[in-house]
Structure 1
Amino acid sequence: MTRYVMQRILGMLAVMFTVVTIVFIIVRVAPGDPAAVMLGPDATAADIAGLRARLGLDQSLPTQYVLFLGQLLRGDLGQSIFLNMPVLSALAERAEPTFFLTLFSILIASAIALPVGILSAYKRGSLFDQVATTFAMFAASIPSFWLGLILIQVFAVRYGWMPASGYGGPDASFLERLRHLVLPALALGIVSSALITRFTRASMLDVLNDDYVRTARSKGMGEWGVVMKHAFKNALIPVLTVVGLTAALLISGAVVTETVFSLPGIGNLVVSAVLRRDYPVIQGALLVIAALYVLINFLIDMLYLAIDPRVRY
């Protein structure tokens, strides 16, 4: 087990080192001078030279790379040009809406997909299975921003049950802010449930006809126990994998949804940074999202230890 954990940790560190290197190269080889792009066409040569010195762009690439790695090891992601604050602080201020949006979206997706996928596999070929498969294909083809606009039109504009956008005022309570996340979480959760449903159904179909399932039935165990205790437990690893990947993708893929619902999250911050050419924010956001993606996958790998004894040995 220790070897398994160490392999995953080393793999995680290798992936993060690769991501850091790629982000560094992309920013440096992008067309044009980053300092000139950030300052705009009215900037003077002195202004551009000053910003280049401030960002360390006037030094050689190997020197910039070493300084960049040193900054990251100190937890310094740089300084935002337009926000005039550390990038890490800017990301921390926007983390709450993105975190809860991702959490609620994955909970909604799992609440829809797991029961539907299990029942669809158990009742293979039935009307329920056909309807569930059709729904999964339909949900997978819906753009989340389009579904978000439909939800706004129905539940916010027509009936007024939910707020259409925003995250509440400065004095809004925590429950009021969560209320603003209902529609965007539904939009992301319904779309994300399609992939989890299909994986759950396929994984359950692989184990429902195995020998140990037939043995459990022959011993007189009830169907609920056979399906949940024996079949679903052994089908859980691929399902858990796709749930973890979906959660990681939701963190990085909520940009459009946050823009549609005007949520002040990390996705909205990244859009603003791209439009303003605020390269330190873009670079910092890419690194943080990549780190979260790798961390989620590492945690999923650790959950394998608790689910499948074969992994421990």
Structure 2
Amino acid sequence: MFRYLMSRFAGMLAVMLIVAVLVFLLTRLAPGDPAALMLGDQATAEDVARLRAQYGLDQPLPLQFVYWLGEVLQGNLGQSIFLQQPVTAALAERAEPTFFLTLFSVAIASLIGIPCGVVSAVWRGRALDQAFTGVAMLGASIPSFWFGLILIQFFSVKLGWFPVAGYGDPDVPLAERLWHLVLPACVLGILNSALIIRFTRASMLDVLGEDYVRTARAMGHAERVVVLRHALRNALIPIITVIGLTAALLIGGAVVTETVFGLPGVGNLVVSAVLRRDYPVIQGALLAIAAVYVLINLLIDLLYRVADPRVRF
């Protein structure tokens, strides 16, 4: 196990280095000058040159990259050009809504997707299977922004049960802030459950035809025991994979939903930074998202052993 973890950490460092190079190059190749955007149309060439020198944008690209990478290795992601605060502080302010939104969304998607996929596989070809399959296809086809607007119109505007948008002030209790996440979490959870339903159904169908499942039925075990203990447990590896990847994608991919509900999340921060050419924020945020992504992949691999003791690293 120790040797496996060391090799994985070495691979993760290599991936993060590649991500750092790509992020740095792509931000510099994008059109637009952050200094000119920050100062506006009335700024003179001398003002723009002075601001570029202040943030080191006038240095050669290799020198900029070496300096930035050295700061990253010391835990410093840089200073935001537009927010005028450290990038780590900006990410920390936006991390809470994104973290809880991802957590609640994955929980809702799993609570919907796994039971529906199991029932769909057990009742293969029947009306219930057709209904759940249709729901999965519908969920994969509905745009998240449209679904979010529908929920806002009904549950927020008409019924008044939930806030229309925002995340609440930092001074309000955490429970009140989390109440703002119910509708966006339902949007992402319901739509992402479609993929989990399909994967769970396919994995269960592969397992239900195995000899040990037929043997368990022949030994007189109850159908519930056969499905949950013998079939579902052996079908968990693909399900864990798709749930983990869903969580990883939601960390930085819920931009549309965050925009519809006015949530100050990491996705909104990255979009704003791209529009402003705020290089330090773009680089720091994407690097942090990539780090979370590789850590989630490591956690998925470790959970394989929990789900199936036969797995060897």
User: Given the two structures, how large is their TM-score scaled by the length of structure 1?
Assistant: 0.95
2:231 corresponding residue in structure 1 = 231
Q: What displacement does 1:170 show?
A: 3.9
| CA-CA distance at 1:268 after TM superposition | 2.1
Q: Does the 8 A contact of 1:78 with 1:280 survive in 2?
A: yes
How far apart, CA to CA, are the structure 2 residues paired with 1:170 and 1:306? 38
Instruction: Structure 2: state its 5+ residue gaps.
Output: none
Give the secondary structure class of the aligned counterpart of 2:24: helix
Q: Distance in 2 between matches of 1:205 and 1:77?
A: 47
**1:267 is matched with which residue?**
267
Deviation of 1:36 after TM superposition, in Å, equals: 2.8
**8 Å CA contact retained: 1:24, 1:65:** yes
Superposed CA deviations along residues 27-72 of structure 1, whole A, max 9, x for unmatched, are: 2222344433443333222222222223322222222221121011
> Aligned partner of 1:130: which letter?
Q
Distance 2:17 2:170 in 1: 38
The runs of 4+ residues in structure 1 deviating greater than 6 Å are none
Structure-to-structure mapping, 1:245-256, within 5 angstroms: 245-256=245-256
Aligned-partner residue type, residue 150 of structure 2: I
Identify the range of structure 1 (103-112 vs 65-74) with the bigger mean alpha-carbon deviation: 65-74
Answer whether contact 2:145 2:257 (CA < 8 A) is retained. yes
**C-alpha contact (below 8 Å) 2:68/2:78 kept by paired residues:** no
2:195 pairs with 1:195? yes
- Matched residues in 2 for 1:170 and 1:37: separation? 30
User: What is the rounded CA distance, in whole Å, between the counterparts of 1:18 and 1:37 in structure 2?
Assistant: 29
* 1:214 correspondence with 2:191: no
What is aligned with 2:71? Answer: 71
Residue 293 of structure 2 aligns to a residue whose secondary structure is: helix
Match of 1:296, as an amino acid? I
**Alignment CA distance shift 1:215-1:6 (3 Å):** farther
Q: Which runs of 5+ in 1 are unaligned?
A: none
Structure 1: distance between partners of 2:55 and 2:170: 34
Q: Shift of the alpha carbon at 1:103?
A: 0.5
CA 1:150–1:83: 2 relative to 1, 3 Å: same
1:276–1:61 distance in 2 versus 1, CA, 3 Å: closer
Deviations 1:216-250 (CA, angstroms, capped at 9, x unpaired): 11222221111111111111011000000000111
Contact map agreement 1:216 1:226 (CA 8 A) in 2: yes
Aligned to 1:230, what secondary structure does the other structure show? helix
8 A contact 1:52–1:58 mirrored in 2: yes
CA RMSD between the two structures:
1.6
Amino acid at match of 1:59: Q
Q: Is the 8 Å Cα contact of residues 112 and 193 (structure 1) preserved in structure 2?
A: yes
> Is the CA contact 2:33–2:277 (under 8 Å) kept in the aligned structure 1?
no
Shifted more, 39-48 versus 115-124: the winner is 39-48
Give me the identity figure in percent: 68
Q: 2:40 corresponds to which residue? A: 40
Structure-1 separation of matches of 2:174 and 2:42: 43
Aligned to 2:150: 150
